[in-house]
Amino acid sequence: MGRPSDTREVLIAEALGDFATLLARIDAVTPTLEQTCDRLESMADKLLGSVYPFTRRVATMACETQNRAVAKIAEQAKVVARNTVDEQISAMQHSARRIFNDEFIPPLRQVAGELRQARLRTHPAWATWLTHSAAAVMGAWCAGVLLMYLVPVKAPETQSVASVPSPGCVAPAPGPGNPRARR
């Protein structure tokens, strides 16, 4: 080839020389690239082979984490339920006390006051016992009267006033009507 005549040709010649150097370098790198590609393919195969155990391990860890989370949630739910039950019991007791104090105490106090007033208006306690003792005395008297009519009582024989001897008089002789007196 001849000498370049202008700068344009010089630049083209230099570019072609650089291009030839570049192609030589690419040819030198090609075996290294092929080796690297082979290694990458073998590494991809190894990775695909280890993906299943990795997936299984990740799934196992996820299940364990899920079980721990469920257990923790259940524990917290039990605590919340216990606290809720305690709070509800306390609220119900408070409400029951308030309802009792608001609804039952005033009527009970009114009834108690009325009973006190009624008790003050009644007879004293001794009046009741007086009634009972009067009933007992009347019962005894009625029983005595009833017994007097049912059971005859022999009264001692009384003598008439004319037959009673005066002091200083002689007693009359027994009469013929009493056979026992003759013997």
Report the 10 Å Cβ neighbour count for 4. 13
Q: Is the pTM of this model over 0.95?
A: no
Cα 92 off chain centre by: 10
Per-residue pLDDT of the chain (183 residues; tens, 9 = 90+): 555 567 887 777 777 777 788 888 888 888 888 899 999 999 888 888 888 888 899 999 999 999 999 999 999 999 999 999 999 999 999 999 999 899 888 888 998 988 888 877 766 777 778 888 999 999 999 998 888 878 765 656 665 555 555 555 555 555 555 555 444
Q: Are 38 and 29 in contact (CB under 8 A)?
A: no
DSSP secondary structure letter of residue 6: S
Query: pLDDT > 70: what percent of the chain?
Result: 78
